[in-house]
Amino acid sequence: MLVNATEMLLKARDGHYGVPQFNINNLEWTKSVLTACEETKSPVILGVSEGAGKYMTGFKTVAAMVSAMVDSMGITVPVALHLDHGTYEGCKACIEAGFSSIMFDGSHYSIEENVEKTKELVALAHAHGMSIEAEVGSIGGVVGAGEIADPEECAKITALGVDFLAAGIGNIHGVYPANWKGLDFEALDRIHKATNNIPLVLHGGTGIPDEMIAKAISLGVSKININTECQLVFAEATRKYIEEGKDQQGKGFDPRKLLAPGAKAIEAKCKEKIELFGCAGKG
């Protein structure tokens, strides 16, 4: 059964570790992430962007597939199915489709409009027993350029009853440019102090050095999102398989064989992150 992400994140906040959000793209991806989390006994949040949802033919397909896989695979750790960077309409669609958690990304609206829409979606999500994440200060790479969130705006959004908050602290989605200045820990500290100990979310987890992750966790981050890093290891392992001509040996073209090295690479990457975030054995 899917659970919302509130309890696992409050436990992480109080226990000073991070829960991973691994984004999923298809059945193989989901299987790899769930296998890694079950083997390490880690709670997990499966992130689905609107684009990935569309790719998998719609949110209803995703919810049905993930729920059935959790059941068929005998998963015992808490699993939340979460919309990543949702629009207002996307959030409503995921509530209908059977997700257990949503993120409303209103960071590109004025703060007044972000407050208004977030407030409505908080009431809707909670009426369905779902958790909700909101965003202040664009995270670079999706809609903005890696802003630093204003603590007062963060406090306004937190006061609406959101369960966890994504606040920009110089983080960017995708691979960081060579001249990236790093996370702004002073900003993180100010945001943490202004937001009543709400679990904070670190987007753009790919490529953030390990010591910065540890420091972010110590300053109130309880959820860390990883997407690109799994895509990179999947592509690298698949490329190697094909370049070695393995798809042309015997039945190496069988998708169950062709996709296996990539799937294994995702599993290994997830285990590495679980170790780093300190969430092994917490599920």
CB of 219 to ligand 13P, least distance (A): 18
Nearer to ligand 13P, 153 or 229 (CB): 229
User: Which listed range, 155-163, 223-231, 263-271, 272-280, lies at the site for ligand 13P (CB under 6 A)?
Assistant: 223-231
The one catalytic residue in 84, 105, 150, 163 is: 84
Give residues 157-186 in contact with ligand 13P (rule: CB under 6 A).
Answer: 173-174
Site string for ligand 13P, 33-72 (x = CB under 6 A): --------------x-------------------------
Residue 105 binds ligand 13P (CB under 6 A):
no
Determine if 220 is a binding residue for ligand 13P (CB under 6 A).
Answer: no
Token digits of residue 192: 């943490």
H/E/C letters for each residue in the chain? CCCCCHHHHHHHHHHCCCEEEEECCCHHHHHHHHHHHHHHCCCEEEEEEHHHHHHCCCHHHHHHHHHHHHHHCCCCCCEEEEEEEECHHHHHHHHHHCCCEEEECCCCCCHHHHHHHHHHHHHHHHHCCCEEEEEECCCECCCECCCECCHHHHHHHHCCCCCEEEECECCECCCCCCCCCCCCHHHHHHHHHHCCCCCEEECCCCCCCHHHHHHHHHCCEEEEEECHHHHHHHHHHHHHHHHCCHHHCCCCCCHHHHCHHHHHHHHHHHHHHHHHHCCCCCC
Contact 83, 48 (CB under 8 A): yes
Nearest approach, Cβ of residue 173 and ligand 13P (Å): 4
Identity of the residue, 83 or 241, whose beta carbon is nearer to ligand 13P in the bound complex: 83
Burial code of 1-25, b = ≥16 C-beta within 10 A, e = fewer?
ebbbbbebbbbbbeeebbbbbbbbb
Q: Residue 6 or residue 227: which is nearer to ligand 13P going by CB?
A: 227
Question: Between residue 187 and residue 216, which ones bind ligand 13P under the rule CB under 6 A?
Answer: 203-206
Q: Name which of 158 and 206 has its Cβ closer to ligand 13P.
A: 206
Q: How far is the CB of 226 from ligand 13P (least distance, A)?
A: 5
Residue of 30, 101, 114, 227 that binds ligand 13P (CB under 6 A): 227
- By rule CB under 6 A, what count of residues binds ligand 13P? 15
Name which position in 198, 226, 263, 279 contacts ligand 13P (CB under 6 A): 226
- Is 23 a binding residue for ligand 13P by CB under 6 A? The answer is yes
Q: How far is the CB of 180 from ligand 13P (least distance, A)?
A: 12
**Is residue 150 annotated as a catalytic residue, yes or no?**
no
Give the residue numbers marked as catalytic.
Answer: 84
By CB under 6 A, name the binding residues for ligand 13P.
23, 47, 84-85, 173-174, 203-206, 225-229
